Amino acid sequence: MSTFPRNPKAAPAKPVQPRYGRMDVGLSEVALGIAHATDWLLGLQHPDGYWCGELEADSMLESDYIFMHTLLGTGDRGKMERAVNEILRHQNEDGGWSIYPGGPSNISLGVKAYFALKLMGWSAEHSVLVKARTWILANGGVTECNTFSKIYLCALGQYDYDAVPAVPPEIVLFPNWFYFNIYEISAWSRAILVPLSIIYAKKPFKKLTPEQGIDELFVGGRENADLHLRWDRKHPISWRNFFLGVDRITHWFERIHIRPLRKIALEKAEQWLLERFEMSDGLGAIYPAMLNAIVALACLGYTPDDPQFIRAMDEFEKLGIDNPDGELKYPTPTFRMQPCMSPVWDTAQAVYALGEAGVPKDDPRLLKAVDWLLSKEVRHKGDWAVSVKNVTPGGWAFEFNNEFYPDVDDSAQVLLALNQVRNPQERYQHEVSQRALDWIFAMQCRNGGWASFDRDNTKMIFQYIPFADHNAMLDPPTVDITGRILEMLANYGFTRRDKRVEKAIQFVLDEQEPDGSWFGRWGVNYLYGTFLVLRGLEAMGVWSHEPAIVNAAEWIRMVQNADGGWGETCGSYDDPLQRGIGPSTPSQTAWAVLGLLAAGDTRSDSVAKGIRWLISKQSPLGTWDESAEERNGEAIYTGTGFPRVFYLAYHLYRDYFPLLALTTYKRMMEREAAAA
């Protein structure tokens, strides 16, 4: 049973059964599951007070790791060899590699994996590479890769700089009032593109041996390949063709060396980077920006013994998880990279779930976690302040340190967590919370919703820029974040009488899909969006019999799997007809149950079966397994980085979301029984 202290004055617990509906699992079993899950989650707490689970992504990170160290002549050869093992572990039967387990093979990922293996000395005749090459050539070859992949290939002599979309550093010189400026694109793209513009301007080049090259991946041979971007002939007058024209002109100026502002632009871009290294775990605290920043520093003449270079490299290497002796599931030694770390997010979610589970508000473990969260409050103005002026900084970032990029979603979840404790520093916590609330309201977009890092970052024209093929140039308001904020605001006493709240509610109602679901931007996918919206609407007192709520609950019930759980694959981003379809997972089953409970459904077989599924899948230790047995135990990705491009497996989702679902169910059933 649970080790957290029970109130000695409380009456002995009595098993309570619901009055209505079928119950295949007694509340005593649910209570036992909650106790075990609580103990397990508390056992994962770091001595400093925080939680931080592994954040897993596709094997492109390991390929890029090998690329970067090969280009710079740095790195630990042993780690790179173990990174090869990680790449091999994820190869598909067809020879390619996917951006999420079970998904279709991806051309950019396949080319990078193939190239990484060759850089590590593998022969083109090795059976792994023969199989990979067959798939790559059948799917268009190297020329079908995205821009970022092509620029990396250019640096190692495998593509032509003249054939990739131009990313000129002069973009940093556009004034903030100008329609096209770097603050009109998403925060993550900004952090990636500024150092990439330095790389593009300096055009690093390292000559490889013929055996290391990938000429064989060009359909018809590299010498016959058409490397240049294609015009849109179906729509000759279009934004795509306009930007392609600008791109061609930019390349022409590059060839004849007419770049009057290049020196100034590079100096400003360098200054921009160095400023954002401060108070951060590397540039933007995210993998691609950090990698680009390291290469950019090398291009600018920083040597490996320069303090700035050392710091950037150290922060980058901290993202690695090295298993030289293998793991329980994977006995082969591996090394993999995380896209970033998630301590603030995991801690806020864990504290909230534990508080809801009944851990006392003055429990020293929760107080330590909350004090850690309070210490991570952002107190400096970051990029968001360019468009949101005269607002006191507040809120939290996702990572340990990322002062320039706090985000609204984390800030809302931290505020929910803070409400779960009775802090002796009550006044200080109130001041921090008030600053965060003021900042969150200041970040509300014109349409009533909230985005993650910026306000009204919605200029669709940026999607047509040639180097925007990573599908993440914008940061528009989303219903999942807005739903979480509505829940948080209700916890802090806000109601529909507040015009800002009502505007947010109207935003989410307007975004509902015809089938009753809501799109999930930051979690996979419609199950995620729908559960967060329903919780937000419930918290704000929206009547559960409103058509929007009824339709959403019916959609959740409709997509339940035969085993009683719920699941949805990342493929629903490519094909909306796949929404709500996928093998059952603990996190997504928890989301579905939480959504139904928020819609007022405590009586249906769907809820009972969902709870039974969670209880039956819980291990004796109190945790859940969220991996695919048929894919060698690979983690199932239920987190979203960039839809259709980059997905994530949060290793603690399988713990705190099921705990929250069981707790919410038990509380609602007890309340219903008491009212009978």
Backbone angles phi and psi of 577, in degrees to 5: -65, -15
User: To 10 degrees, the CA torsion angle through 100, 106, 108, 110?
Assistant: 90
| Planar angle of CA 141, 147, 150, nearest 5 degrees | 55
Q: CA 532, 534, 537: angle at the middle one, nearest 5?
A: 110
Crossing angle of helices 408-418 and 426-442, in 10° steps, is 150
Q: Inter-axis angle of helices 187-202 and 287-299, to 10 degrees? A: 30
Cα three-residue angle 267-268-273, rounded to 5 degrees: 100
DSSP 576: G
Q: Tell me if residue 409 is catalytic.
A: yes
Helix (H) or strand (E) holding 114: helix 107-119
List Cβ neighbours of 57 (8 Å cut-off, separation of 6 or more): 287, 337, 338, 339, 641, 646, 647, 648, 649
How does DSSP assign 193-209, residue by residue?
HHHHHHHHHH-------
**CB–CB of 568/524 below 8 Å?**
yes
Nearest to 559 by CA among 572, 542, 543, 548: 572
The number of beta carbons lying within 10 Å of the beta carbon of residue 619 is 11
Alpha-carbon span 587 to 614, nearest angstrom: 10
The first and second tokens of residue 558, run together, are 């409709």
Task: Provide CB contacts within 8 A for 213, sequence distance 6+.
Answer: 118, 157, 158
Catalytic residue of the set 409, 454, 469, 655? 409
Angle, helix 364-375 to helix 426-442, in steps of 10 degrees: 50
CB within 8 A of 597, min separation 6: which ones?
607, 661, 664, 665, 668
Query: Sign (positive/negative) of CA torsion 282, 283, 289, 293?
Result: negative
Contact 96, 110 (CB under 8 A): yes
DSSP string across 89-109: HTB-TTS-BBSSTTSPB-HHH
Distance CA 590, CA 535 (A): 13
Nearest to 419 by CA among 443, 442, 402, 436: 436
One-letter amino acid identity for 251? H
Q: Which residue has the tokens 């006191």?
A: 392
| Gap between the Cα atoms of 234 and 211, Å rounded | 41
Single-letter amino acid, residue 611: I
CA distance 594 to 601: 10
Give backbone dihedrals phi and psi of 634, rounded to 5 degrees, phi first. Answer: -65, 145
Which amino acids are annotated catalytic? Answer: 409
